[in-house]
Amino acid sequence: MTPLFLWLMEHILYLYALPYDPKRPLWCFDERPCQLLGDTLVPIPMEPGKQWRYDHHYERKGVCNILIAFQPHTGQRVVQVRQQRRAKEYAEFMVELKTVYNPDADTLQIVQDNLNTHSPSSFYTILPPAQALAMANLFEMNYTPKNASWLNMVEIELSVIARQCLHRRLDSMQLLEREVLALVKERNEKSMTVNWQFTPELARDKFKRFYPDLGTDPA
């Protein structure tokens, strides 16, 4: 671990420890590509004492992309299912996150990975320059270290979605969207959040071998 990794890690953990501020709400963001798969044979329905059975052969129906933002303080999440994974889709998602879900916030704190499209520059793909700059100034992007997606709380949400919705074959984007949004609605209504326990102090203890030894030199 480099000093940059340690700083990025501690900065994210510091943000998690801050109290909720509606003027500067914290959102954790990520994306997940999904394969759309169809059956080549009609599955055999479940019966008492027998599981649902399907053939191991499948037909590829294309791909789509799940975009998700999770607010740990309030237990709310915003999800879109889009056909492509480009700067345009990212920018449109972020504009909606600000204007629809956080209209009164001064700044949105975003925790995300450093994919090349996850940048304020993406706003220039959908907005005129002056509007793109104004929108970019409403966001504070906080990037997780490389190969440290586990620091992003939204990964836990994506894991829940994968286990409950994406473990079976879904042959269209519309079907996948319906399944995912139904789960998201249920979790939002229950304000389900994450009991995050990892603090900067615990990180310093767990990874102490990576911190420089700054002990005083002997006289």
Q: Determine the structural domain holding residue 129 and report its residue range.
A: 3-44+53-202
* Structure confidence at residue 49 (pLDDT): 64
Q: Please report, for the domain that includes residue 120, its CATH number.
A: 3.30.420.10
**Number of domains comprising the chain:** 1
186 belongs to a structural domain: yes
219 belongs to a structural domain: no
Backbone dihedral angles phi then psi of residue 67, each to the nearest 5 degrees: -110, 130
Specify the length of the chain in residues: 219
102 belongs to a structural domain: yes
* Structure confidence at residue 41 (pLDDT): 45
215 belongs to a structural domain: no
216 belongs to a structural domain: no
* Structure confidence at residue 165 (pLDDT): 85
Backbone dihedral angles phi then psi of residue 139, each to the nearest 5 degrees: -120, 145
90 belongs to a structural domain: yes
Could you report the per-residue pLDDT of 93-110, keeping only the tens digit for each?
999 999 999 999 999 999
* Structure confidence at residue 171 (pLDDT): 80
217 belongs to a structural domain: no
* Structure confidence at residue 40 (pLDDT): 45
- Which pTM does this prediction carry? 0.86
Ranges of residues in the chain with a pLDDT under 70 are 37-47, 49-58, 61, 215-219
218 belongs to a structural domain: no
* Structure confidence at residue 217 (pLDDT): 55
